[in-house]
Structure 1
Amino acid sequence: MTQAVNSPAGDAVQSELVAIDAAGRLVVPGKFRKALGIRGPQQLLVGLEGNTLRVSTTDGVIRRYQELARRRKRTAGSVVDAFIAERRREAAEE
Structure 2
Amino acid sequence: MESDVGKPQQRSVQVAENGRMNLPADVRRALGLNGAGRVILTQDENGVILTTADHALRRARALAAPYKPGGRSVVDEFLSDRREEAAHDGNRDRGADRG
TM-score, with length taken from structure 2: 0.59
SS of equivalent to 1:34:
helix
Whole-Å separation in 2 of the counterparts to 1:15 and 1:34: 16
* 1:48 counterpart = 2:34: no
SS of equivalent to 2:9:
strand
Runs of 4+ in 1 over 4 A off after TM superposition: none
CA RMSD of aligned residues (A): 2.6
Give the counterpart of 2:55 among 51, 57, 60: 60
TM-score, with length taken from structure 1: 0.62
Q: Which structure 1 residue ranges, 5 or more long, are not aligned?
A: 5-10, 81-94
Higher helix share: 2
Aligned-pair identity (%):
29
SS of equivalent to 1:23:
coil
TM-superposed CA distance for 1:73, in Å, is 2.0
Higher strand share: 1
Name the larger-Rg structure. 2
One-letter amino acid matched to 1:53: V
Q: Which structure 2 residue ranges, 5 or more long, are not aligned?
A: 78-99
